């Protein structure tokens, strides 16, 4: 009888521990959902003051939040041409690009992403950079925040935030800071070629020089400039300027 009572006690103890763990896990999930929703709602109207990437940048932070209306449209066209041609037609995820990235990664070599501008914005504002196993954890959070900003912010706000928080050089964030640093004037006066040079450097802003661009960055910038004209003519940026 004593042995039976001891076993039953252990079962009750294990059940109680599982219940408490589940209770705390449930509270953590609800808390995360609530906080994430509040932040997304806040940043729909308020400029993003700082991002995790900025906070951990040892080179400091140079930035200047600029409304979308004060950024030359050529910059929007350039990032759509260079980063996400389907920006106005997808719901935050480009499934074809993701599938292509998966197939390339299976072949080995350097990991490639299939992230849209919406996904990049979600990551830049709310999450961390880096690779390793945490990359897969981050992707899960990234999907959640992408869904939120697509449905709460809309395309214009996503583009505005992206153009203000994207890393555009060493210690430089946003296209206004980039325009001032590289060209000596505001983002409101960017030419098609200038905007294309900034867009060409976005995937690797610490390694790709915007001013005095050469090699791949120079060629990629020219290609983006050419495609930017297509973006404008075919109204591939229309969702941003409705």
Give me the torsion for CA of 197, 199, 200, 206, rounded to 10°: 100
Buried b (16+ CB within 10 A) or exposed e, 167-191: bbbebbbbbbbbbbbbbeebbeebe
Looking at domain 50-240, which of 3.30.460.80, 1.10.3810.10, 1.10.3720.10, 3.40.50.300 is its CATH number?
1.10.3810.10
Domain regions of the chain by residue span: 1-43, 50-240
- What's the pLDDT score for residue 119? 97
d(CA 233, CA 235): 6
Classify 172 as helix, strand or coil: strand
- What's the pLDDT score for residue 62? 97
Confirm whether pTM is higher than 0.85.
yes
Are 168 and 205 in contact by the 8 Å Cβ rule? The answer is yes
pLDDT averaged per 10 residues in sequence order, the chain, 242 residues: 57 69 85 96 98 94 97 98 96 83 60 80 93 85 97 98 97 97 97 96 88 82 96 97 90
- What's the pLDDT score for residue 223? 96
> How many helices (H) and strands (E) in the chain?
10, 3
- What's the pLDDT score for residue 41? 98
Q: Which residue has the tokens 């020219």?
A: 222
Task: Give the number of other Cβ atoms within 10 Å of residue 211's Cβ.
Answer: 13
Q: Nearest to residue 190, comparing CAs of 212, 216, 230, 163? A: 163
- What's the pLDDT score for residue 23? 76
Are 227 and 81 in contact by the 8 Å Cβ rule? The answer is yes
Token digits of residue 212:
């005095």
């Amino acid at each position: 009888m004593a042995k039976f009572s001891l076993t039953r006690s252990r079962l009750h103890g294990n059940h109680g521990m599982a219940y408490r763990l589940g209770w705390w896990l449930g509270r953590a999930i609800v808390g995360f959902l609530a906080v994430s929703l509040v932040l997304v709602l806040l940043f729909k109207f308020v400029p993003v003051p700082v991002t995790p990437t900025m906070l951990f940048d040892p080179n400091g932070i140079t930035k200047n939040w600029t409304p979308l209306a004060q950024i030359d449209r050529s910059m929007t066209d350039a990032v759509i041409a260079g980063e996400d041609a389907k920006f106005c037609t997808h719901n935050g995820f480009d499934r074809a690009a993701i599938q292509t990235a998966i197939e390339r990664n299976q072949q080995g070599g350097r990991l490639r992403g299939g992230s849209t501008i919406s996904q990049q914005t979600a990551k830049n504002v709310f999450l961390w950079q880096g690779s390793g196993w945490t990359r897969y954890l981050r992707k899960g959070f990234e999907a959640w925040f992408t869904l939120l900003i697509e449905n709460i912010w809309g395309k214009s706000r996503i583009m505005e935030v992206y153009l203000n928080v994207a890393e555009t050089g060493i210690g430089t964030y946003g296209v206004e800071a980039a325009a001032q640093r590289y060209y000596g004037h505001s983002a409101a006066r960017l030419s098609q070629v200038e905007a294309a040079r900034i867009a060409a450097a976005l995937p690797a802003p610490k390694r790709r020089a915007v001013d005095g661009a050469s090699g791949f960055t120079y060629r990629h910038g020219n290609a983006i400039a050419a495609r930017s004209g297509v973006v404008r003519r075919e109204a591939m940026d229309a969702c941003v300027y409705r």
